[in-house]
Chain A
């Protein structure tokens, strides 16, 4: 089945140790998104790619970076994780239909920072 896959599902890292989360999709969607969701809060968009064009949200910390080497894969790099970065990280995809598209979400990666 076509889907959005995130690896790993759970990630434990140490304070300040870089970590990379991955997302892949078989939907051939041209837009990919990374969201951060803290406990009992709304998902917050960090950035998204429209094809190869990177779009950063204004309030996304510089500590967060992203790469999209091809249509299928997108990575979230956290350069120096702090305790406040512990959260669920959600990847989503969509095919841009001028506002009519649905976003499809992966299962998420839960990050724990020790």
Chain B
């Protein structure tokens, strides 16, 4: 059974700092990995999706990497801003016909002004 772990559970950084969020998964047989953002009491917003054949994806100040063989992904946020404060979740979709995503519990990020 796939398990997704995100460490740390919470992180506080001063504004302007570059930071890395970590995600690990136990089964490397995946189709893709997604990073989501969730603001308090809100739904999830997709940030980046990396296919299993890809190594990284970039969108603005965000860069996500994937090392499938080691079961790890990172989300790099450059020049963090207070508006980046949210919970960041990663999710993997297994290879094969199953469509369900397995989520990590998330990292709650606070960027201090």
Contacts and interface: CB of A to CB of B under 8 A. Distances in A.
Interface of A: 4, 6, 31, 33, 40-45, 48, 50, 55, 57, 88, 90, 92, 94, 96, 99-100, 102-108, 110
B32, B49, B99, B104 — which one has the most chain A CB atoms within 10 A of its CB?
A: B99
B51 A104 contact: no
A49 B38 CA distance: 24
A42 B43 contact: no
A50 B44 contact: no
Interface string B30-55: 01101010000111111001011000
- Chain B interface SS verdict (over half): strand
Given A90-B43, A104-B46, A108-B43, A43 B103 contact: yes
A40 B102 CA distance: 15
B26 interface: no
B93 interface: yes
Interface in B54-113: 89, 93, 95, 99-106
Contacts, number: 61
B21 interface: no
A43 B105 CA distance: 8
A45 B102 CA distance: 8
Contacts of B41: 88, 108, 110
Given A31-B99, A105-B36, 19 more contacts: A33-B100, A40-B106, A42-B103, A42-B105, A48-B99, A55-B99, A88-B41, A90-B43, A90-B44, A99-B31, A100-B31, A100-B32, A102-B34, A102-B46, A103-B34, A103-B46, A103-B101, A105-B46, A110-B41
A57 B100 contact: yes
